[in-house]
Amino acid sequence: MVVCGLNEEELIVDFLEKSIADLKAVCDDWEIVFLNDGSTDCTGELAHAVAAREHRVKVIDAPRNLGTGANVAEAYQHASKDIVFNNTVDAFFDTTDLSWILPHLDNFDSISGCRTDLRANNGYQKLLTTVNRSLISLLFPVKLKAYQTVQFHPLELFRKITIEGRSSFVSPELLIKAHALGYRIGEVDVVFHGRTKGTAKGGGLRHVARSLRDIFKFWMRWVVLGKPLCQREG
């Protein structure tokens, strides 16, 4: 499990401890990669304390705040297990659901967990979700129910591609590139959960602008100009 956090001292310990218990319940060989994205509160110290008790928790301290998208791209580079999935410290995805989601990987190469509804979102968030989904479906060849999802990918995907987005576009980017590589993508319905403590870091106008910039930039690069989607740099 890959997860990033910025100033999440109210949630980080409970989140990590629950995630550890849920991962232990479904497999023996697991890890949590937590990227501390330049936190200025006690998030880093608390995460390292959990990692000191459980060696399968890796804490990566970013030297500065990388921001949404860039932080996830960095965190994925530290993953080492066969299957990699994403989550957030506010646990939009309940890891209890791993028990019924993981068996779907017997039939698909990648799994995309889509929201069953948007009740956890306010009106502004619902609008952003609808616009984002419609734009990506219109501009890119992969047609899915949703693109901002919890995703399960084989580790080999991250060895074959370079993550180019530096915004929340990273989530649809992975699906677009998995599709381009011929991966079979299965969609399952999951319930996403709203934040219970702390402050959400995404969704502001700056984050929205960065995401829109990436959508149109990569549409121009990959679709209009036909440049390779999956060429690994270096």
CA distance 198 to 89: 10
Q: What's the pLDDT score for residue 2?
A: 98
State the Cα angle at 79 between 78 and 82, rounded to 5°.
155
> Which helix (H) or strand (E) segment is 2 a member of?
strand 2-5
Nearest to 51 by CA among 5, 20, 96, 11: 20
> Which helix (H) or strand (E) segment is 189 a member of?
strand 185-190
The answer to whether residue 197 scores a pLDDT higher than 90 is no
pLDDT in tens, 104-129: 999 999 999 998 766 656 677 777 88
Q: What's the pLDDT score for residue 129?
A: 83
pLDDT in tens, 67-106: 989 999 999 999 999 999 999 999 889 999 999 999 999 9
Q: Domains of the chain, with CATH numbers?
A: 2-224 (3.90.550.10)
- The helix-helix angle for 170-180 and 123-139 (nearest 10°) equals 30
Q: What's the pLDDT score for residue 145?
A: 94
CA distance 21 to 215: 37
Q: What's the pLDDT score for residue 127?
A: 79
CA distance 229 to 174: 10
